[in-house]
Amino acid sequence: MVTILSDQFSLVNSWINDLRNVEVQNDRMKFRRNMERIGEIAAFEISKGLEQKEVEVTTPLDKLKVKEIAVQPVITTILRAGVPLFEGILNYFDKADCGFVAAYRKHDANDYFSIKQDYLTCPNIDGRPLIVADPMLATGASLIEALKDLLNHGKPTQLHIVAAIGSKQGVETLQKAYPEAHIWVGAVDESLTSKGYITPGLGDAGDLSYGEKLQR
């Protein structure tokens, strides 16, 4: 299942516009905050479908039965670009456990790339909802590689993928690889360049959040 958060007009559309806009996106703090905001909205929507339990709460005046999340999710992201989106999700799921994957595109002399994964740390996800934050769902290759390793840590009850911008090809590739996943994406762009970048996209989310990096 795919939910495009900007299909129904809301503030999400304005945040995505600012993420894309070259006159705005160089404000790194605002760029990171807009990524967080999209993560927060996605977390709110995801929370509606999580398993619930009934608990008793004591107020200064009385006791009452209320609903709470039955099993806290595990939130993971792909470093470093995914951190602001991840932080937004964690802002709302503030009792969740977290995991991290270090995966990146290793570019050759012609700027073509292969996916390299150096590091993964994750709690047991067996019997828990798993939320994976990846701001740019381009080809889907790095995310699929990360998911393969994450799912070695157990079988989640639900699988949610959160992205700010996705390509049509990347979304379809992920759907075929993980049909049980619910994909939450801010907007979907039609095309990829010949080198696997989303167009019109927004550029390099990691560089826009944290500054340019040296390629290895």
Note whether residue 165 is domain-resident.
yes
- Identify the bridge partners of residue 105 per DSSP, sorted by sequence position: 115
Note whether residue 170 is domain-resident.
yes
Note whether residue 151 is domain-resident.
yes
Residue ranges making up the domain that contains 21: 2-51+65-210
Note whether residue 57 is domain-resident.
no
Pinpoint the alpha helices (H) of the chain: 11-20, 28-47, 83-92, 141-150, 168-177, 205-210
Note whether residue 28 is domain-resident.
yes
Report the domain count for the chain.
Answer: 1
The pLDDT tens digits of the residues spanning 73-103 come to 999 999 888 999 999 999 999 999 999 998 6
The pLDDT tens digits of the residues spanning 133-162 come to 999 999 998 899 899 989 988 999 999 999
Q: The pTM is what?
A: 0.91
Note whether residue 31 is domain-resident.
yes
Share of the chain above pLDDT 70, in %: 92
**CATH number for 177:** 3.40.50.2020
Note whether residue 98 is domain-resident.
yes
Note whether residue 131 is domain-resident.
yes
